[in-house]
């Protein structure tokens, strides 16, 4: 009887209805995307505007600009053409390249994330239909979906939670498993919050530099120990609606902070001593994370290989950041000081503004080189002035330098 009532209600409400991108977003896209197209067009032809064509720059920028132009054109076409049609017996998604449809009676349920609403078919061979949150009337569409279809996120959460409570690896009794799940959630919440606090303070207020670098280096290791000791209860990363607690922030945020500090605080003169320790650390981290990957990951899915790529990028960021920052932060030898003549100045403007000085040869730097400096140093110097360069061999014999004034 309930299903009949729902069907009657559906028949009355949705004989046919179309959902397109909201008008405000459509106007915004039609203003911004053409402006971006002009910008990338300029980037593509910029190398050819010089009296002497910069071949290297042309090889890099031209394909990059053409690719982005193509994507922006697709975005404009998609804005004009894309729509979702709800009919009495089916829903239809019209896109740039293809049109997909699902029979109402064959819809298994829906899922929602921060960007899209997805409809899934009972037939696994049929592809899902996705709808952007930026369509006009999205709230109405979501309400309709909740009324007529199962929320698969809720079902998956219940199923995963039930699997946890039935898994003897997490405790001998259901109560013990539930207690361990609650304890794991509290533990991950605490260490994730601590990781954010340490990372942000290191990023913006590096007053206690050595201590902050040590903490940023230790937190991902502690996170990995917690992950390995949880026997699969704690995940490295997990979808938002999962009952499994995760340590995503503990691994990612301190690692990125170390990378940022390494890139901004130290200019490396010779990288040859860097690759062995970084490669070794990346391999160790990769092994710790993935040595039992066959238990948790399906290698027939493309998403598993994206996970492997993510692990490699995470390990590389952490290893490079940790090696470079500790190489400089814990160097005990006094630096060698050089007064170096300034040959030219340059400002680079993009998403951020960078300041550069071209310096004469100095000490072990046997070539004229351009170095990045702070805005204050840049403004205080003129061509022909002297810049003071501090040079150190580094704790791990990775030589670095920086301009102090």
CA 244 to chain centre: 21
- The answer on pLDDT for 47 being more than 70 is yes
Quickly state the pLDDT bin for 401 (edges 50, 70, 90). confident
- 376-389 pLDDT per residue, tens: 888 888 888 888 88
Between CA 40 and CA 255 the distance in angstroms is: 32
- Say if CB 193 and CB 210 are below 8 A apart: no
Candidates 357, 332, 323; CA nearest to 342 is: 357
Average pLDDT estimate for 220-243: 82
- The answer on pLDDT for 195 being more than 90 is yes
- The answer on pLDDT for 4 being more than 50 is no
CA 374 to chain centre: 27
- DSSP per-residue codes, 12-67: HH-SEEEE-B-HHHHHHHHHHHHHHHHHHHHHHHGGGSSSS--HHHHHHHHHHHHH
Indicate the angle between helix axes 302-329 and 209-229, nearest 10 degrees: 150
- The answer on pLDDT for 50 being more than 80 is no
Candidates 319, 188, 193; CA nearest to 255 is: 319
The predicted structure's pLDDT at residue 293: 57
Candidates 38, 97, 98; CA nearest to 68 is: 38
Average pLDDT estimate for 85-110: 87
Instruction: Provide the sign of the torsion angle of the four alpha carbons 162, 164, 165, 167, taken in this order.
Output: positive
Q: Where is average pLDDT lowest: 51-60, 110-119, 203-212, 233-242?
A: 51-60
The predicted structure's pLDDT at residue 305: 67
Quickly state the pLDDT bin for 253 (edges 50, 70, 90). very high
The predicted structure's pLDDT at residue 5: 47
The predicted structure's pLDDT at residue 300: 63
Between CA 255 and CA 314 the distance in angstroms is: 7
Candidates 80, 89, 45; CA nearest to 65 is: 45
The predicted structure's pLDDT at residue 99: 87
Percentage of residues of the chain with pLDDT beyond 70: 89
- 345-374 pLDDT per residue, tens: 888 776 677 788 888 888 888 888 788 888
- Say if CB 167 and CB 159 are below 8 A apart: no
Q: Where is average pLDDT lowest: 74-78, 105-109, 219-223, 310-314?
A: 310-314
Between CA 96 and CA 385 the distance in angstroms is: 58
Q: Which residue would you say has higher pLDDT here, 174 or 60?
A: 174
- The answer on pLDDT for 1 being more than 50 is no
Between CA 70 and CA 14 the distance in angstroms is: 37
Between CA 42 and CA 27 the distance in angstroms is: 24
pTM beyond 0.85: the answer is no
The predicted structure's pLDDT at residue 43: 79
Length of the chain in terms of residues written: 405
The predicted structure's pLDDT at residue 258: 94
Tell me the average pLDDT of the chain: 83
Average pLDDT estimate for 143-151: 88
Domain boundaries, the chain: 1-105+133-150, 169-330, 336-404
Quickly state the pLDDT bin for 188 (edges 50, 70, 90). very high
Instruction: Tell me which H or E stretch contains 308.
Output: helix 302-329
- 296-329 pLDDT per residue, tens: 555 566 566 676 777 788 888 899 999 999 998 8
Angle made by CA atoms 100, 105, 107, in degrees to the nearest 5: 55
The predicted structure's pLDDT at residue 310: 75
- The answer on pLDDT for 254 being more than 70 is yes
The predicted structure's pLDDT at residue 304: 64
Q: Which residue would you say has higher pLDDT here, 146 or 311?
A: 146
- Say if CB 122 and CB 107 are below 8 A apart: yes
């Amino acid at each position: 009887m309930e299903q009949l009532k729902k069907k009657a209600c559906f028949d009355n409400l949705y004989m046919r209805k179309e959902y397109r991108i909201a008008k405000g977003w459509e106007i915004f896209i039609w203003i911004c995307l053409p402006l971006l197209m002009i910008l990338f067009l300029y980037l593509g032809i910029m190398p050819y505007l010089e009296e002497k064509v910069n071949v290297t720059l042309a090889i890099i920028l031209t394909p990059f600009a053409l690719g982005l132009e193509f994507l922006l054109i697709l975005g404009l076409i998609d804005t004009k053409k894309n729509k979702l049609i709800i009919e009495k017996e089916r829903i239809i998604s019209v896109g740039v390249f293809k049109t997909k449809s699902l029979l109402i009676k064959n819809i298994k349920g829906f899922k929602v994330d921060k960007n899209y609403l997805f409809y899934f078919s009972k037939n696994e061979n049929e592809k899902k239909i996705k709808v952007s949150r930026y369509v006009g009337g999205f709230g109405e569409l979501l309400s309709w979906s909740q009324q007529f279809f199962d929320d698969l996120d809720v079902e998956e959460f219940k199923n995963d939670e039930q699997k946890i409570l039935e898994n003897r690896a997490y405790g001998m009794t259901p109560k013990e498993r539930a207690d361990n799940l609650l304890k794991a959630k509290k533990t991950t919440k605490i260490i994730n919050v601590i990781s954010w606090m340490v990372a942000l303070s290191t990023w913006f207020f590096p007053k206690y530099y050595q201590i902050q670098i040590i903490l940023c280096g230790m937190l991902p290791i502690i996170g990995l120990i917690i992950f390995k000791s949880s026997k699969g209860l704690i995940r490295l990363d997990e979808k938002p609606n999962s009952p499994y607690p995760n340590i995503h922030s503990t691994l990612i945020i301190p690692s990125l902070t170390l990378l940022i500090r390494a890139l901004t605080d130290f200019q490396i003169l010779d990288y040859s001593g860097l690759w062995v320790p970084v490669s070794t650390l990346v391999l160790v981290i990769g092994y710790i994370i993935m040595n039992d990957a066959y238990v948790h990951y399906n290698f027939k899915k493309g998403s598993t290989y994206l996970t492997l790529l993510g692990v490699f990028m995470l390990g590389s960021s952490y290893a490079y950041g940790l090696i470079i920052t500790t190489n400089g932060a814990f160097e005990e030898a006094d630096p060698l000081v050089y007064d170096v003549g300034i040959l030219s100045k340059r400002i680079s403007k993009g998403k951020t503004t960078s300041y550069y000085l071209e310096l004469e040869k100095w000490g072990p730097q046997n070539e004229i080189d351009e170095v990045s400096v702070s805005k204050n140093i840049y403004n205080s110097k003129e061509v022909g002035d002297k810049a003071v360069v501090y040079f150190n061999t580094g704790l791990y014999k990775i030589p670095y330098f920086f301009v102090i004034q």
